[in-house]
Amino acid sequence: MTPTRFLMPLAWLAAACGNPPDRAAGQDSVPRDPPAPSRPESPPPRYWEPRPIQPPKVKVPRPVPDPAPDSAGVPDSGAASAPADSGDSARHATAAARRAGRGGLSGFQLTPADSARWPVPGLPEPLPGSLIPANRIVAYYGTPRSTRMGVLGRIPPDSMLPRLERTARMWAEADSTRGVMPALHLIATVAQDKPGGGAKYRLRLGTAVIDSVAGWAEARGWIVILDIQIGHSTVAAELEPLLPYLRRPYVHLALDPEFAMKNGGVPGRRVGTLDATDVNTAVDVLSKVVEEEKLPPKVLVVHRFTRRMLTNVERIKLDPRVQVVIDMDGFGIQKHKEYAYRLWIVPYPVQYTGFKLFYKNDRKPAYRSEADARWSCPDSVALAIGCGDDGLMTPERVLRLYPRPDYIQYQ
């Protein structure tokens, strides 16, 4: 077992972006495809029209009311005895929890200093065609090549795509102030626990898989987010084969520092890191694509669940052609997720925020098997956003966070 997969107060933090890289033949993981061309064989249509879901004019009541919030947003005092995920980061999180507890904070309550950081001052005005803030993005994460890495591959497309649309509609009902853009968040470069060709510890998906997922989104007026786990490679090197896709108006980008092993090591055995310089490399590439192709602004999602995962955040470039989202990643019980958002996202403002939800790992054990669970609300609601009593945070609960997340990801 890898140390980054364990749930613990705050350092459940280290169990963020899906299952660890595949380990042995026979496991359900991303198979090694034969070498594939690095560029699409034919260009996509030049015309694409976004079709975000608009909120209903009349708010639709939930079949089951959302439960009251937990009495505390700080991990229990016994957190120090839980197993550590990555050494210093886990100890730092526990110490921070104790300091917050001594300060008397409870629920999702910000300090005055943290509250003053939002909205971020000096942000560039959104350009025409910007997805945020007019819309919230609601994404399904994973890859069709694996049932273990997220909902995008865990259920067949003919079930997954309607469920995503239903989930997005429920988010639009929960917040009538903005539309919702459904997104398919595809892991396009997958970290590996073996060196592979070039000793890069990563595997690039073939174009056939990316083209297939892109086609699902394009036909519906949705967006695709291509996620890269660089392993021992670099952001610049992994962006190069994805440029033909990024030139499409509906394709965006995500960076996963968890599997960026800049200091050496095997992905999945400890938490990796990216610096502002790496994020700025992506910002520069995306802004150039937007300028050259006369596209709407791109969205750049960066995952985070420890401080060291993303360094020098204050140096991340703000460019109106690129909308940067720092996504709070990691699974655990609701109050720990809320506390992590306050610890790793709120004090380090960049531009926009995101929040990740796990259909399995966030839920109480009795509800982790969809086939066996006895839901307290209709199946259509339970499978999309949860009932409120199964452990999965509902839209209403997530919307209590401040700042309200602009990007929601389900795994």
- Least confident among 209-213, 249-253, 367-371: 367-371
Strands (E), 53-178: 135-142
pLDDT for residue 58: 63
pLDDT in tens, 344-391: 999 999 999 999 999 999 999 999 998 889 999 999 999 999 999 999
- pLDDT tier at 57, thresholds 50, 70, 90: confident
Q: What is the chain's mean pLDDT, rounded?
A: 82
pLDDT for residue 362: 95
Of 293, 348, 294, 290, nearest to 323 (Cα)? 290
- pLDDT tier at 213, thresholds 50, 70, 90: very high
Of 8, 4, 53, nearest to 259 (Cα)? 4
pLDDT in tens, 103-150: 333 455 667 777 788 889 888 899 999 999 999 999 999 999 999 999
Burial profile 389-403: b = 16 or more Cβ within 10 angstroms, e = fewer? bbbbbbbbbbbebbb
- The structure tokens listed for 226 are 């291509």
pLDDT for residue 109: 65
pLDDT for residue 117: 87
- pLDDT tier at 48, thresholds 50, 70, 90: confident
pTM equals: 0.80
pLDDT for residue 121: 87
The DSSP code sequence of 359-380 is: TTTTS-GGGS-TTT---SS-HH
Q: What percent of the chain has pLDDT over 70?
A: 75
Residue 255, C-beta contacts closer than 8 angstroms, at least 6 positions apart? 227, 228, 230, 235, 274, 278, 279, 282, 300, 301, 302, 303
DSSP helix/strand/coil, 133: coil
Q: Is the pLDDT of residue 42 over 90?
A: no
pLDDT for residue 371: 85
Cβ atoms within 10 Å of 21's Cβ, excluding its own: 24
CA dist., res. 406 & res. 374, Å (int)? 31
Burial class (CB in 10 A: 0-12, 13-18, 19+), 53: buried
pLDDT for residue 330: 86
Query: Between β-strands 179-191 and 223-228, what pairing exists: parallel, antiparallel or unpaired?
Result: parallel
Packing angle of the helix pair 157-174, 207-220 (nearest 10 deg): 50
Q: Is the pLDDT of residue 411 over 60?
A: yes
Q: pLDDT higher for 11 or 328?
A: 328
